Structures are given as C-alpha cells and as structure tokens.
Amino acid sequence: MDPRQQELAARIAGRRGAVRGPFRVWLHSPEMCERAESLGAFARFDCGLPKHLRELSLLMAARNWDAQYSWNAHVHQAIEAGVPEAAVKAIAEKREAVFDNEADQAFYQFCKEILEEHFVSDATFAAAQRHFGNKGLVDTIGALGNFTMLGMCLNTFQVDLQPDKEPPFPDVRGYGRVRTETDGPRP
C-alpha cells in the first residue's frame, strides 16, 4: 500500500477494529474508500435512526443484493439491537416480515418498497414520514444507498463469506442463484 492507503487503513481499523470485507476492495481507490467509509460510518453509527432500524436497513439491502458477507457480519447485531428473529428469518427467505411495533412496520414497508419497486406508495410514505419525519426518511435513503453500494461491491469483487459462517440465503450459493427445475433452460 502507498502512504495514502496506509493512512486510510489505519483510520478504518481504528474505527471498525480491522480492515476487512469491502474496505479491502475500496482501498484500491483511496478517494472512493475515504468517501465510502465516511458515508458508511454515518449510516452505521451516526444517523438519526435507532440502532435496530439501521441494522434492519442493512439486512434489507444485503438481502436485496444477496450480499452474504454483509448479512453474516450483521445478522447477530441486528437481533441484539432488537430486530425480531422471525422478521430476520422472513427477510432471509424473501417472505413478508411482520413487526409488532407500528413504527418498525412502517420502516420495513418503506424500505421494502423502495428496494423492490424503486418507488413508495403515498400511504407508505405518509406512514413512514409520520414516524420518522423528513430527516429520518433522508437518513433511511442514505443508509439504504450506502448498504446497496456495499452489497454491489461485495458481490462484484466476490468478497468471500466468513469461513465460519453458513451461506444465509436458501436461493444463493457462491455468487449466483440456485437454479431449480422451474427456472427453465438458461438462455
């Protein structure tokens, strides 16, 4: 590493404990790495969302992008922060998650719609805005954008799963989807 990369690596390790996962890739472009680390630190540690919702947004983006490394790195943190295990399992299996807390359900629905549909309905927006305000929604979009970029990086550069972790998604192995007989022939 050149001196700039060494400086960034030391800062990342100081904040996150080590340089691993996507940071090992992003260090190839120090300018990108610095900006991605800054946005990631905001999304993970400093934005106005409660910790369990920051972790939920990470899991939802990770599942949307099939980012197994990211999922495995955060699934236990999400549960410890208060995301129900049943909801985590539903998200991993691409089923509808249900939350007892009305604000958490509104947050989940908002994230789900923007990730899957690329838009949110007026009713979903109004419910999320009522609970989180405009600042909370902007922070949510920032977090989802950051975690989406993270998932894209992990999959593109095939960042290995942690060796002690099981693949978390039933429809993904390695860096591709599990094909079934109902998928038909590959074009």
pLDDT of residue 181: 57
User: Is 173 in a helix, a strand, or coil?
Assistant: strand
DSSP state of 42: I
Q: What is the pTM of this model?
A: 0.89
d(CA 34, CA 16): 14
DSSP state of 176: E
pLDDT of residue 173: 81
pLDDT of residue 183: 54
Helices within the chain (DSSP H only): 3-16, 22-26, 30-41, 51-64, 68-81, 85-92, 102-117, 122-156
pLDDT, averaged in runs of 10, over the chain (187 residues): 92 88 92 91 92 98 95 96 98 97 98 98 98 98 96 90 83 79 52
Pairing of strands 172-173, 176-177: antiparallel
Query: Would you give the distance in Å from CA 106 to the centre of its chain?
Result: 18
pLDDT of residue 153: 94
pLDDT of residue 186: 43
Residue whose entry in the numeric block shows the structure tokens 């990470």: 58
Contact 78, 168 (CB under 8 A): no
